[in-house]
Amino acid sequence: MSAINRGLRQATRSLPLRSIPRSALRPLSTIKPAAALTLSSATPATRIARSSFSTMSALKSASAAPSPSEGTGYDKEITDIASYVHNQNIDSELAFDTARWVFLDTLGCGLEALRFKECTKLLGPVVPGTVVPSGSRVPGTDFQLDPVNGAFNIGAMIRWLDYNDCWLAAEWGHPSDNLGAILAVADWITRTNKAGGNVAGGKIFTVRDVLEAMIKAHEIQGCLALLNSYNKVGLDHVVLVKVASTAVVSKMLGLSEKQTADAITHAWVDGQSLRTYRHSPNTMSRKSWAAGDACQRAVNLALKVLKGETGIPTVLSAPTWGFYDVLFKGKTFEFQRDYGSYVMENVLFKVSYPAEFHSQTAVEASEKIHHQLKAMGKSAADIKAVTCRTHEACIRIIDKQFKPMDNFADRDHCIQYMCSVMLVFGRLTAGDYLDGSEAATSELVESLRKKIKCVEDPQFTADYHDPALRTISNGLTVELNDGTVLPEVVVEAPLGHRLRREEAKPHILAKYKRHLEQHFGADKVQQLVDLGLDGKKLESTPVDEYVDLYVVKDSKFLKA
Protein backbone atom coordinates (compact mmCIF):
# COMPACT_ATOMS: atom_id res chain seq x y z
CA MET A 1 0.00 0.00 0.00
CA SER A 2 2.88 2.47 0.82
CA ALA A 3 4.35 2.02 -2.68
CA ILE A 4 0.95 2.76 -4.20
CA ASN A 5 0.56 5.86 -2.04
CA ARG A 6 4.03 7.14 -2.98
CA GLY A 7 3.20 6.65 -6.64
CA LEU A 8 -0.04 8.59 -6.28
CA ARG A 9 1.74 11.46 -4.52
CA GLN A 10 4.40 11.62 -7.22
CA ALA A 11 1.78 11.57 -9.97
CA THR A 12 -0.12 14.37 -8.25
CA ARG A 13 3.01 16.53 -8.02
CA SER A 14 3.66 16.06 -11.74
CA LEU A 15 0.18 17.28 -12.77
CA PRO A 16 0.36 20.69 -14.52
CA LEU A 17 -1.28 23.56 -12.66
CA ARG A 18 -3.69 25.74 -14.61
CA SER A 19 -2.58 29.35 -14.69
CA ILE A 20 -4.97 31.68 -12.84
CA PRO A 21 -5.03 35.33 -13.92
CA ARG A 22 -3.95 37.69 -11.14
CA SER A 23 -7.10 39.76 -11.71
CA ALA A 24 -9.20 36.77 -10.61
CA LEU A 25 -7.55 36.70 -7.19
CA ARG A 26 -8.99 38.68 -4.28
CA PRO A 27 -7.71 39.16 -0.77
CA LEU A 28 -9.43 36.75 1.60
CA SER A 29 -10.77 39.67 3.63
CA THR A 30 -12.95 40.78 0.70
CA ILE A 31 -14.79 37.49 0.38
CA LYS A 32 -18.36 37.66 1.72
CA PRO A 33 -19.40 34.27 3.06
CA ALA A 34 -22.98 33.02 2.69
CA ALA A 35 -25.36 34.17 5.39
CA ALA A 36 -25.90 30.59 6.48
CA LEU A 37 -22.25 30.37 7.44
CA THR A 38 -22.05 33.65 9.42
CA LEU A 39 -21.21 33.07 13.09
CA SER A 40 -21.36 35.96 15.64
CA SER A 41 -18.84 38.74 14.99
CA ALA A 42 -15.88 36.63 13.92
CA THR A 43 -13.68 37.85 11.09
CA PRO A 44 -14.49 36.49 7.60
CA ALA A 45 -11.51 34.17 7.67
CA THR A 46 -12.52 32.84 11.05
CA ARG A 47 -16.12 32.31 9.87
CA ILE A 48 -14.93 30.15 7.00
CA ALA A 49 -12.64 28.17 9.21
CA ARG A 50 -15.48 27.53 11.66
CA SER A 51 -18.18 26.90 9.05
CA SER A 52 -20.39 23.83 8.84
CA PHE A 53 -18.37 22.40 5.98
CA SER A 54 -16.54 20.37 8.65
CA THR A 55 -18.29 17.08 9.31
CA MET A 56 -16.19 15.95 12.24
CA SER A 57 -18.50 17.30 14.96
CA ALA A 58 -21.48 15.62 13.33
CA LEU A 59 -19.61 12.33 13.12
CA LYS A 60 -18.51 12.52 16.76
CA SER A 61 -22.02 13.22 18.05
CA ALA A 62 -24.02 10.96 15.72
CA SER A 63 -24.03 8.00 18.07
CA ALA A 64 -25.40 10.14 20.90
CA ALA A 65 -28.01 11.95 18.81
CA PRO A 66 -31.62 11.47 19.94
CA SER A 67 -34.29 9.95 17.72
CA PRO A 68 -35.64 12.64 15.33
CA SER A 69 -39.03 12.58 17.03
CA GLU A 70 -37.65 12.83 20.58
CA GLY A 71 -37.61 16.23 22.24
CA THR A 72 -38.62 18.09 19.07
CA GLY A 73 -41.93 19.86 18.60
CA TYR A 74 -44.01 18.62 15.69
CA ASP A 75 -45.36 21.04 13.11
CA LYS A 76 -48.80 22.13 14.29
CA GLU A 77 -50.26 21.19 10.91
CA ILE A 78 -49.23 17.58 11.65
CA THR A 79 -50.49 17.42 15.23
CA ASP A 80 -53.81 19.02 14.27
CA ILE A 81 -54.49 16.22 11.80
CA ALA A 82 -53.43 13.48 14.23
CA SER A 83 -55.56 14.98 17.00
CA TYR A 84 -58.57 15.24 14.69
CA VAL A 85 -58.29 11.61 13.61
CA HIS A 86 -57.95 10.30 17.17
CA ASN A 87 -60.14 12.64 19.17
CA GLN A 88 -62.88 14.16 17.01
CA ASN A 89 -66.29 12.55 17.30
CA ILE A 90 -68.34 12.69 14.10
CA ASP A 91 -71.99 13.20 15.03
CA SER A 92 -73.34 14.73 11.82
CA GLU A 93 -76.11 12.57 10.40
CA LEU A 94 -75.86 14.57 7.17
CA ALA A 95 -72.20 13.59 6.90
CA PHE A 96 -72.97 9.88 7.46
CA ASP A 97 -75.88 9.92 5.03
CA THR A 98 -73.76 11.65 2.39
CA ALA A 99 -70.88 9.23 3.06
CA ARG A 100 -73.24 6.29 2.43
CA TRP A 101 -74.14 7.68 -0.99
CA VAL A 102 -70.47 8.39 -1.73
CA PHE A 103 -69.58 4.83 -0.66
CA LEU A 104 -72.07 3.23 -3.06
CA ASP A 105 -71.25 5.58 -5.91
CA THR A 106 -67.50 5.05 -5.49
CA LEU A 107 -67.76 1.27 -5.49
CA GLY A 108 -69.91 1.48 -8.61
CA CYS A 109 -67.30 3.64 -10.35
CA GLY A 110 -64.65 1.05 -9.52
CA LEU A 111 -66.74 -1.75 -11.00
CA GLU A 112 -67.34 0.24 -14.17
CA ALA A 113 -63.58 0.71 -14.64
CA LEU A 114 -63.12 -3.07 -14.87
CA ARG A 115 -64.67 -2.92 -18.33
CA PHE A 116 -61.52 -1.19 -19.60
CA LYS A 117 -58.43 -3.30 -20.30
CA GLU A 118 -56.08 -0.38 -19.74
CA CYS A 119 -57.24 -0.51 -16.13
CA THR A 120 -57.46 -4.27 -15.58
CA LYS A 121 -53.96 -4.89 -16.95
CA LEU A 122 -52.57 -3.11 -13.87
CA LEU A 123 -54.64 -5.05 -11.34
CA GLY A 124 -54.07 -8.24 -9.41
CA PRO A 125 -51.11 -9.53 -7.39
CA VAL A 126 -47.59 -8.40 -8.20
CA VAL A 127 -46.67 -12.05 -8.79
CA PRO A 128 -49.49 -13.66 -10.81
CA GLY A 129 -51.37 -16.34 -8.92
CA THR A 130 -50.46 -15.08 -5.46
CA VAL A 131 -53.26 -15.35 -2.89
CA VAL A 132 -52.72 -13.72 0.50
CA PRO A 133 -54.40 -15.54 3.40
CA SER A 134 -57.00 -13.25 4.97
CA GLY A 135 -56.02 -10.65 2.37
CA SER A 136 -58.00 -7.68 1.08
CA ARG A 137 -60.59 -8.58 -1.54
CA VAL A 138 -60.91 -6.46 -4.66
CA PRO A 139 -64.55 -5.80 -5.67
CA GLY A 140 -65.58 -7.23 -9.03
CA THR A 141 -62.70 -9.72 -9.00
CA ASP A 142 -61.50 -12.80 -7.13
CA PHE A 143 -58.20 -11.19 -6.10
CA GLN A 144 -57.11 -11.56 -2.49
CA LEU A 145 -54.11 -9.30 -1.87
CA ASP A 146 -51.91 -7.81 0.81
CA PRO A 147 -53.35 -4.48 2.02
CA VAL A 148 -50.72 -2.38 0.24
CA ASN A 149 -51.42 -3.82 -3.18
CA GLY A 150 -55.11 -4.09 -2.35
CA ALA A 151 -55.13 -0.34 -1.75
CA PHE A 152 -53.55 0.24 -5.17
CA ASN A 153 -56.05 -2.03 -6.94
CA ILE A 154 -59.13 -0.47 -5.36
CA GLY A 155 -57.75 3.06 -5.64
CA ALA A 156 -56.88 2.67 -9.32
CA MET A 157 -60.33 1.25 -10.13
CA ILE A 158 -62.11 4.06 -8.33
CA ARG A 159 -60.22 6.82 -10.11
CA TRP A 160 -59.85 5.29 -13.56
CA LEU A 161 -62.85 6.85 -15.28
CA ASP A 162 -62.82 10.20 -13.47
CA TYR A 163 -66.39 9.50 -12.40
CA ASN A 164 -66.28 9.54 -8.57
CA ASP A 165 -66.92 12.49 -6.28
CA CYS A 166 -65.04 15.78 -6.44
CA TRP A 167 -63.88 18.70 -4.30
CA LEU A 168 -63.03 22.06 -5.85
CA ALA A 169 -61.23 24.88 -4.08
CA ALA A 170 -57.78 26.45 -4.37
CA GLU A 171 -56.82 22.81 -5.05
CA TRP A 172 -59.14 20.24 -6.53
CA GLY A 173 -59.29 16.50 -6.08
CA HIS A 174 -61.46 13.48 -5.45
CA PRO A 175 -61.72 12.67 -1.73
CA SER A 176 -63.35 9.28 -2.28
CA ASP A 177 -60.01 8.18 -3.78
CA ASN A 178 -59.09 7.52 -0.13
CA LEU A 179 -61.51 4.59 -0.06
CA GLY A 180 -58.82 2.55 -1.81
CA ALA A 181 -56.69 2.62 1.34
CA ILE A 182 -59.56 2.63 3.84
CA LEU A 183 -61.44 -0.36 2.42
CA ALA A 184 -58.33 -2.47 1.81
CA VAL A 185 -57.07 -1.98 5.38
CA ALA A 186 -60.48 -2.43 7.06
CA ASP A 187 -61.11 -5.62 5.08
CA TRP A 188 -57.65 -7.09 5.76
CA ILE A 189 -57.73 -6.31 9.50
CA THR A 190 -61.22 -7.78 9.86
CA ARG A 191 -60.41 -10.97 7.98
CA THR A 192 -57.12 -11.38 9.83
CA ASN A 193 -58.73 -10.94 13.23
CA LYS A 194 -61.60 -13.31 12.40
CA ALA A 195 -58.92 -15.86 11.49
CA GLY A 196 -57.35 -15.54 14.94
CA GLY A 197 -55.10 -12.54 14.46
CA ASN A 198 -54.77 -9.51 16.71
CA VAL A 199 -54.26 -6.52 14.43
CA ALA A 200 -55.44 -3.22 15.93
CA GLY A 201 -56.44 -4.99 19.13
CA GLY A 202 -58.60 -7.53 17.32
CA LYS A 203 -60.90 -4.90 15.78
CA ILE A 204 -63.76 -6.09 13.57
CA PHE A 205 -64.70 -3.22 11.28
CA THR A 206 -68.25 -2.51 10.19
CA VAL A 207 -69.33 -0.42 7.24
CA ARG A 208 -70.06 2.44 9.67
CA ASP A 209 -66.38 2.42 10.68
CA VAL A 210 -65.50 2.73 7.00
CA LEU A 211 -67.92 5.62 6.56
CA GLU A 212 -66.43 7.44 9.55
CA ALA A 213 -62.93 6.99 8.14
CA MET A 214 -64.19 8.33 4.81
CA ILE A 215 -65.67 11.43 6.49
CA LYS A 216 -62.34 12.16 8.18
CA ALA A 217 -60.28 11.50 5.05
CA HIS A 218 -62.58 13.76 3.05
CA GLU A 219 -62.19 16.45 5.70
CA ILE A 220 -58.39 16.30 5.81
CA GLN A 221 -57.97 16.34 2.04
CA GLY A 222 -60.64 19.00 1.53
CA CYS A 223 -59.49 21.40 4.26
CA LEU A 224 -55.89 21.21 3.07
CA ALA A 225 -57.20 22.14 -0.39
CA LEU A 226 -59.45 25.05 0.54
CA LEU A 227 -56.82 27.80 0.45
CA ASN A 228 -53.68 25.99 -0.72
CA SER A 229 -52.94 25.37 -4.40
CA TYR A 230 -50.52 22.51 -5.00
CA ASN A 231 -51.02 22.55 -8.76
CA LYS A 232 -49.59 26.07 -8.93
CA VAL A 233 -46.23 24.72 -7.76
CA GLY A 234 -46.48 21.76 -10.13
CA LEU A 235 -47.58 19.13 -7.59
CA ASP A 236 -50.43 16.74 -8.20
CA HIS A 237 -53.39 16.73 -5.82
CA VAL A 238 -52.81 13.05 -4.96
CA VAL A 239 -50.35 14.26 -2.32
CA LEU A 240 -53.49 15.05 -0.31
CA VAL A 241 -54.86 11.55 -0.86
CA LYS A 242 -51.62 10.16 0.53
CA VAL A 243 -51.67 12.43 3.58
CA ALA A 244 -55.36 11.88 4.36
CA SER A 245 -55.19 8.12 3.82
CA THR A 246 -52.05 7.82 5.93
CA ALA A 247 -53.76 9.63 8.80
CA VAL A 248 -56.96 7.59 8.92
CA VAL A 249 -55.29 4.26 8.14
CA SER A 250 -52.82 4.83 10.99
CA LYS A 251 -55.72 5.13 13.44
CA MET A 252 -57.37 2.04 11.93
CA LEU A 253 -54.17 0.03 12.42
CA GLY A 254 -54.14 0.91 16.12
CA LEU A 255 -51.31 3.43 16.07
CA SER A 256 -51.17 5.97 18.89
CA GLU A 257 -51.79 9.65 18.23
CA LYS A 258 -48.04 10.28 18.24
CA GLN A 259 -47.41 7.38 15.86
CA THR A 260 -50.12 8.74 13.57
CA ALA A 261 -48.29 12.07 13.56
CA ASP A 262 -45.08 10.19 12.69
CA ALA A 263 -46.81 8.45 9.78
CA ILE A 264 -48.25 11.74 8.50
CA THR A 265 -44.76 13.27 8.46
CA HIS A 266 -43.59 10.43 6.22
CA ALA A 267 -46.43 11.15 3.81
CA TRP A 268 -45.22 14.74 3.49
CA VAL A 269 -41.53 13.85 3.14
CA ASP A 270 -42.25 11.13 0.60
CA GLY A 271 -41.56 11.98 -3.04
CA GLN A 272 -44.54 13.90 -4.42
CA SER A 273 -46.06 13.33 -7.84
CA LEU A 274 -45.66 15.98 -10.52
CA ARG A 275 -48.79 17.00 -12.44
CA THR A 276 -47.08 16.63 -15.79
CA TYR A 277 -49.01 13.43 -16.60
CA ARG A 278 -52.20 15.52 -16.58
CA HIS A 279 -50.97 18.19 -18.99
CA SER A 280 -49.80 18.55 -22.57
CA PRO A 281 -47.52 17.24 -23.95
CA ASN A 282 -47.39 14.40 -21.40
CA THR A 283 -51.06 13.64 -20.73
CA MET A 284 -51.31 9.87 -20.23
CA SER A 285 -52.92 7.10 -18.22
CA ARG A 286 -50.86 7.57 -15.07
CA LYS A 287 -53.38 10.21 -14.04
CA SER A 288 -55.88 7.36 -13.78
CA TRP A 289 -53.80 5.27 -11.36
CA ALA A 290 -52.07 8.10 -9.50
CA ALA A 291 -54.61 7.92 -6.67
CA GLY A 292 -54.10 4.16 -6.37
CA ASP A 293 -50.39 4.84 -6.08
CA ALA A 294 -51.06 7.37 -3.31
CA CYS A 295 -53.27 4.86 -1.47
CA GLN A 296 -50.67 2.11 -1.53
CA ARG A 297 -47.96 4.49 -0.36
CA ALA A 298 -50.17 5.61 2.52
CA VAL A 299 -50.76 2.05 3.72
CA ASN A 300 -47.10 1.16 3.30
CA LEU A 301 -45.97 4.17 5.36
CA ALA A 302 -48.45 3.48 8.16
CA LEU A 303 -47.31 -0.14 8.35
CA LYS A 304 -43.69 1.00 8.62
CA VAL A 305 -44.54 3.18 11.60
CA LEU A 306 -46.48 0.26 13.10
CA LYS A 307 -43.17 -1.60 13.09
CA GLY A 308 -41.50 1.20 15.05
CA GLU A 309 -40.31 3.71 12.47
CA THR A 310 -40.19 7.23 13.89
CA GLY A 311 -41.19 10.49 12.22
CA ILE A 312 -39.75 13.78 11.00
CA PRO A 313 -41.32 16.37 13.36
CA THR A 314 -40.63 19.53 11.33
CA VAL A 315 -41.04 17.95 7.92
CA LEU A 316 -43.02 20.98 6.74
CA SER A 317 -41.26 23.89 8.40
CA ALA A 318 -37.58 22.86 8.55
CA PRO A 319 -35.51 25.67 6.96
CA THR A 320 -34.05 24.75 3.55
CA TRP A 321 -35.00 21.06 3.72
CA GLY A 322 -38.67 21.11 4.70
CA PHE A 323 -41.68 20.77 2.42
CA TYR A 324 -42.46 24.48 2.52
CA ASP A 325 -39.00 25.60 1.36
CA VAL A 326 -38.36 22.75 -1.09
CA LEU A 327 -41.78 22.31 -2.72
CA PHE A 328 -44.09 25.17 -1.70
CA LYS A 329 -41.99 28.22 -2.56
CA GLY A 330 -41.49 29.05 1.10
CA LYS A 331 -45.21 29.56 1.76
CA THR A 332 -46.97 27.92 4.67
CA PHE A 333 -50.41 26.32 4.56
CA GLU A 334 -53.44 28.50 5.20
CA PHE A 335 -56.62 27.20 6.76
CA GLN A 336 -60.17 28.45 6.40
CA ARG A 337 -61.78 26.28 9.07
CA ASP A 338 -61.14 23.66 11.77
CA TYR A 339 -61.52 19.98 10.92
CA GLY A 340 -65.06 18.66 11.28
CA SER A 341 -67.37 17.15 8.66
CA TYR A 342 -67.81 20.13 6.31
CA VAL A 343 -66.21 18.52 3.26
CA MET A 344 -68.32 15.36 3.23
CA GLU A 345 -71.45 17.44 3.75
CA ASN A 346 -70.59 19.66 0.78
CA VAL A 347 -68.83 17.21 -1.55
CA LEU A 348 -69.75 17.19 -5.24
CA PHE A 349 -71.19 14.05 -6.80
CA LYS A 350 -70.32 13.44 -10.41
CA VAL A 351 -73.66 12.18 -11.61
CA SER A 352 -74.38 12.98 -15.21
CA TYR A 353 -71.18 12.51 -17.18
CA PRO A 354 -67.80 10.75 -16.85
CA ALA A 355 -66.05 14.07 -17.36
CA GLU A 356 -63.51 16.21 -15.51
CA PHE A 357 -65.57 18.16 -13.01
CA HIS A 358 -64.79 21.67 -14.22
CA SER A 359 -66.57 20.75 -17.44
CA GLN A 360 -69.72 19.21 -15.93
CA THR A 361 -71.86 22.32 -16.24
CA ALA A 362 -70.53 23.01 -19.75
CA VAL A 363 -71.49 19.51 -20.87
CA GLU A 364 -74.93 19.95 -19.29
CA ALA A 365 -75.33 23.23 -21.18
CA SER A 366 -74.21 21.45 -24.37
CA GLU A 367 -76.87 18.79 -23.85
CA LYS A 368 -79.55 21.49 -23.62
CA ILE A 369 -78.23 23.14 -26.78
CA HIS A 370 -78.18 19.78 -28.60
CA HIS A 371 -81.92 19.39 -27.95
CA GLN A 372 -82.55 23.03 -28.84
CA LEU A 373 -80.84 22.59 -32.21
CA LYS A 374 -82.79 19.40 -32.85
CA ALA A 375 -86.05 21.23 -32.17
CA MET A 376 -84.95 23.90 -34.69
CA GLY A 377 -84.27 21.26 -37.32
CA LYS A 378 -80.55 21.92 -37.10
CA SER A 379 -77.50 20.07 -35.76
CA ALA A 380 -73.91 20.56 -34.64
CA ALA A 381 -72.93 20.77 -38.30
CA ASP A 382 -74.69 24.16 -38.44
CA ILE A 383 -72.48 25.67 -35.70
CA LYS A 384 -70.03 28.39 -36.74
CA ALA A 385 -68.54 29.23 -33.30
CA VAL A 386 -69.06 28.62 -29.58
CA THR A 387 -67.94 30.87 -26.72
CA CYS A 388 -67.62 29.22 -23.33
CA ARG A 389 -67.78 31.72 -20.46
CA THR A 390 -66.05 29.94 -17.61
CA HIS A 391 -63.89 30.12 -14.48
CA GLU A 392 -60.09 30.33 -14.26
CA ALA A 393 -59.49 26.77 -13.05
CA CYS A 394 -61.29 25.36 -16.09
CA ILE A 395 -59.06 27.31 -18.45
CA ARG A 396 -55.92 26.26 -16.63
CA ILE A 397 -56.75 22.56 -16.58
CA ILE A 398 -58.89 21.51 -19.54
CA ASP A 399 -58.83 24.29 -22.15
CA LYS A 400 -57.26 22.54 -25.15
CA GLN A 401 -58.87 24.16 -28.17
CA PHE A 402 -56.21 23.30 -30.73
CA LYS A 403 -54.14 20.65 -28.93
CA PRO A 404 -54.28 17.30 -30.83
CA MET A 405 -56.19 14.60 -28.97
CA ASP A 406 -53.58 11.85 -28.57
CA ASN A 407 -55.30 9.42 -26.22
CA PHE A 408 -58.09 8.72 -23.71
CA ALA A 409 -56.42 10.93 -21.09
CA ASP A 410 -56.29 13.89 -23.48
CA ARG A 411 -59.94 13.59 -24.43
CA ASP A 412 -61.41 13.31 -20.94
CA HIS A 413 -59.48 16.43 -19.91
CA CYS A 414 -60.45 18.65 -22.84
CA ILE A 415 -63.57 20.77 -22.37
CA GLN A 416 -63.83 21.38 -26.12
CA TYR A 417 -63.84 17.65 -26.88
CA MET A 418 -66.43 16.82 -24.22
CA CYS A 419 -68.78 19.59 -25.30
CA SER A 420 -68.35 18.71 -28.96
CA VAL A 421 -69.26 15.06 -28.40
CA MET A 422 -72.41 16.11 -26.56
CA LEU A 423 -73.32 18.69 -29.23
CA VAL A 424 -72.83 16.17 -32.03
CA PHE A 425 -74.24 12.97 -30.52
CA GLY A 426 -76.34 14.12 -27.57
CA ARG A 427 -74.35 11.89 -25.22
CA LEU A 428 -71.03 11.59 -23.40
CA THR A 429 -69.91 8.17 -22.16
CA ALA A 430 -66.58 6.73 -21.09
CA GLY A 431 -66.47 4.85 -24.38
CA ASP A 432 -66.38 8.14 -26.25
CA TYR A 433 -62.81 8.74 -25.03
CA LEU A 434 -61.42 5.52 -26.49
CA ASP A 435 -59.05 5.48 -29.45
CA GLY A 436 -60.97 4.41 -32.54
CA SER A 437 -64.38 5.14 -31.03
CA GLU A 438 -67.13 6.82 -33.05
CA ALA A 439 -66.55 10.09 -31.23
CA ALA A 440 -62.75 10.00 -31.34
CA THR A 441 -62.77 9.43 -35.11
CA SER A 442 -65.55 11.91 -35.92
CA GLU A 443 -64.44 14.68 -38.26
CA LEU A 444 -67.36 16.81 -37.07
CA VAL A 445 -66.30 16.48 -33.42
CA GLU A 446 -62.74 17.43 -34.33
CA SER A 447 -63.75 20.47 -36.39
CA LEU A 448 -66.27 21.64 -33.81
CA ARG A 449 -63.72 21.26 -31.01
CA LYS A 450 -61.56 23.91 -32.65
CA LYS A 451 -64.51 26.32 -32.83
CA ILE A 452 -65.05 26.41 -29.05
CA LYS A 453 -63.22 29.26 -27.32
CA CYS A 454 -62.99 29.64 -23.54
CA VAL A 455 -62.99 33.06 -21.85
CA GLU A 456 -62.76 33.69 -18.13
CA ASP A 457 -65.55 35.45 -16.26
CA PRO A 458 -64.05 36.87 -13.02
CA GLN A 459 -67.40 36.51 -11.26
CA PHE A 460 -67.54 32.81 -12.12
CA THR A 461 -64.03 32.48 -10.67
CA ALA A 462 -65.04 34.34 -7.50
CA ASP A 463 -68.16 32.17 -7.08
CA TYR A 464 -66.00 29.08 -7.52
CA HIS A 465 -63.96 30.07 -4.44
CA ASP A 466 -66.85 31.46 -2.38
CA PRO A 467 -67.39 29.09 0.62
CA ALA A 468 -71.13 29.80 0.55
CA LEU A 469 -71.47 28.94 -3.17
CA ARG A 470 -68.62 26.80 -4.53
CA THR A 471 -70.35 26.78 -7.92
CA ILE A 472 -68.61 25.56 -11.08
CA SER A 473 -70.28 27.81 -13.63
CA ASN A 474 -70.11 27.59 -17.40
CA GLY A 475 -72.12 29.48 -20.00
CA LEU A 476 -72.22 28.57 -23.71
CA THR A 477 -73.14 30.97 -26.52
CA VAL A 478 -73.57 29.38 -29.96
CA GLU A 479 -73.37 31.22 -33.27
CA LEU A 480 -74.78 29.38 -36.30
CA ASN A 481 -73.52 29.51 -39.87
CA ASP A 482 -76.53 31.58 -40.94
CA GLY A 483 -75.61 34.30 -38.44
CA THR A 484 -78.13 33.33 -35.77
CA VAL A 485 -76.81 33.67 -32.22
CA LEU A 486 -78.60 31.46 -29.70
CA PRO A 487 -79.27 32.80 -26.19
CA GLU A 488 -76.50 31.88 -23.77
CA VAL A 489 -77.15 28.71 -21.77
CA VAL A 490 -75.66 29.00 -18.27
CA VAL A 491 -75.40 26.22 -15.69
CA GLU A 492 -73.90 27.30 -12.39
CA ALA A 493 -74.24 24.26 -10.10
CA PRO A 494 -73.95 20.77 -11.62
CA LEU A 495 -76.27 17.95 -10.69
CA GLY A 496 -74.70 16.48 -7.56
CA HIS A 497 -73.76 19.84 -6.06
CA ARG A 498 -74.99 20.51 -2.51
CA LEU A 499 -77.57 22.89 -3.96
CA ARG A 500 -78.95 20.06 -6.14
CA ARG A 501 -78.26 17.09 -3.81
CA GLU A 502 -81.80 15.75 -3.40
CA GLU A 503 -82.40 16.13 -7.11
CA ALA A 504 -79.29 14.06 -7.69
CA LYS A 505 -79.99 11.09 -5.41
CA PRO A 506 -82.24 9.15 -7.84
CA HIS A 507 -79.58 9.65 -10.52
CA ILE A 508 -76.79 8.50 -8.19
CA LEU A 509 -78.76 5.35 -7.41
CA ALA A 510 -79.47 4.71 -11.09
CA LYS A 511 -75.77 5.17 -11.86
CA TYR A 512 -74.80 2.69 -9.10
CA LYS A 513 -77.33 0.14 -10.34
CA ARG A 514 -76.18 0.55 -13.94
CA HIS A 515 -72.60 -0.19 -12.91
CA LEU A 516 -73.63 -3.25 -10.88
CA GLU A 517 -75.56 -4.72 -13.78
CA GLN A 518 -72.39 -5.24 -15.82
CA HIS A 519 -71.10 -7.71 -13.21
CA PHE A 520 -74.02 -9.31 -11.37
CA GLY A 521 -77.37 -10.93 -12.05
CA ALA A 522 -80.63 -9.20 -11.27
CA ASP A 523 -81.06 -10.82 -7.84
CA LYS A 524 -77.60 -9.78 -6.62
CA VAL A 525 -78.07 -6.27 -8.01
CA GLN A 526 -81.34 -5.91 -6.10
CA GLN A 527 -79.74 -7.31 -2.93
CA LEU A 528 -76.94 -4.72 -3.09
CA VAL A 529 -79.30 -1.85 -3.90
CA ASP A 530 -81.69 -2.74 -1.06
CA LEU A 531 -78.81 -3.06 1.42
CA GLY A 532 -77.36 0.24 0.25
CA LEU A 533 -80.66 2.03 0.85
CA ASP A 534 -81.07 0.57 4.35
CA GLY A 535 -78.68 2.82 6.24
CA LYS A 536 -78.81 1.08 9.63
CA LYS A 537 -78.46 -2.41 8.22
CA LEU A 538 -75.62 -1.37 5.92
CA GLU A 539 -73.70 0.40 8.69
CA SER A 540 -73.91 -2.61 11.02
CA THR A 541 -72.62 -5.08 8.40
CA PRO A 542 -69.06 -6.36 9.02
CA VAL A 543 -66.91 -4.99 6.25
CA ASP A 544 -65.56 -8.38 5.11
CA GLU A 545 -69.08 -9.74 4.71
CA TYR A 546 -70.08 -6.69 2.71
CA VAL A 547 -67.04 -6.86 0.42
CA ASP A 548 -67.71 -10.57 -0.17
CA LEU A 549 -70.96 -9.56 -1.88
CA TYR A 550 -68.85 -7.94 -4.61
CA VAL A 551 -66.54 -10.91 -5.27
CA VAL A 552 -66.71 -12.17 -8.86
CA LYS A 553 -65.04 -15.44 -9.78
CA ASP A 554 -63.75 -15.69 -13.36
CA SER A 555 -64.81 -12.18 -14.32
CA LYS A 556 -65.33 -11.81 -18.04
CA PHE A 557 -63.52 -8.48 -17.86
CA LEU A 558 -60.29 -9.99 -16.49
CA LYS A 559 -59.81 -12.68 -19.08
CA ALA A 560 -56.94 -12.23 -21.51
Q: Residue 52: what pLDDT? A: 34
pLDDT tens for each residue of 269-310 = 998 999 999 988 898 999 999 999 999 999 999 999 999 999
Give the other-Cβ count within 10 Å of 290's Cβ: 22
How far is the CA of 144 from the CAs of 134, 198, 210, 318, 554, in angstroms? 8, 19, 19, 41, 13
115-153 burial code (b ≥16 CB/10 A, e <16): bbeebbebbbbeeeeeebebbbbbbbbebbbbbbbbbbb
Residue-level pLDDT at 35 = 34
Distance CA 549, CA 194 (A): 17
pLDDT for 65 = 43
Q: E strands within 127-268?
A: 136-137, 144-145, 167-168, 172-173
Q: Give burial (CB, 10 Å; 0-12/13-18/19+) of 277.
A: middle
pLDDT value of residue 323:
98
Run of H or E residues at 491: strand 489-491
Question: What pLDDT does 531 receive?
Answer: 98
Q: What is the pLDDT of residue 551?
A: 98
Alpha helices in 114-194 (DSSP H): 117-120, 147-159, 179-194
Would you state the pLDDT for residue 72? 66
Rounded CA gap, 460 and 389, in Å?
8
> Within 10 Å of residue 201's Cβ, how many Cβ atoms?
8
The SS3 assignment for 478 reads strand
Q: What is the dihedral sign for C-alpha 174, 177, 178, 182?
A: positive
Predicted local confidence at residue 71, as pLDDT: 53
User: What is the model's pLDDT at position 552?
Assistant: 98
Enumerate helices (H) and strands (E) in the chain, giving the number of each: 24, 8
Q: For position 490, what pLDDT does the model report?
A: 98
Predicted pLDDT of residue 2: 41
pLDDT tens, position by position, for the chain (560 residues)? 444 343 433 443 343 333 333 333 333 333 333 333 222 333 333 333 333 333 333 333 333 444 555 556 999 999 999 999 999 999 999 999 999 999 999 999 999 999 999 999 999 999 999 999 999 999 999 999 999 999 999 999 999 998 999 998 899 899 999 999 999 999 999 999 999 999 999 999 999 999 999 999 999 999 999 999 999 999 999 999 999 999 999 999 999 999 999 999 999 999 899 999 998 889 899 999 999 999 999 999 999 999 999 999 999 999 999 999 999 999 999 999 999 999 999 999 999 888 898 999 999 999 999 999 999 999 999 999 999 999 999 999 999 999 999 999 999 999 999 999 999 999 999 999 999 999 999 999 999 999 999 999 999 999 999 988 889 999 999 999 999 999 999 999 999 998 899 999 999 999 999 999 999 999 999 999 999 999 999 999 999 999 999 999 999 999 86
**pTM tops 0.85:** no
Q: What is the pLDDT of residue 173?
A: 94
What is the DSSP pairing of strand 136-137 with strand 144-145? antiparallel
From the number of C-beta atoms within 10 Å of its C-beta (0-12, 13-18, 19+), residue 294 rates as: buried
CB 351 within 8 A of CB 507: yes
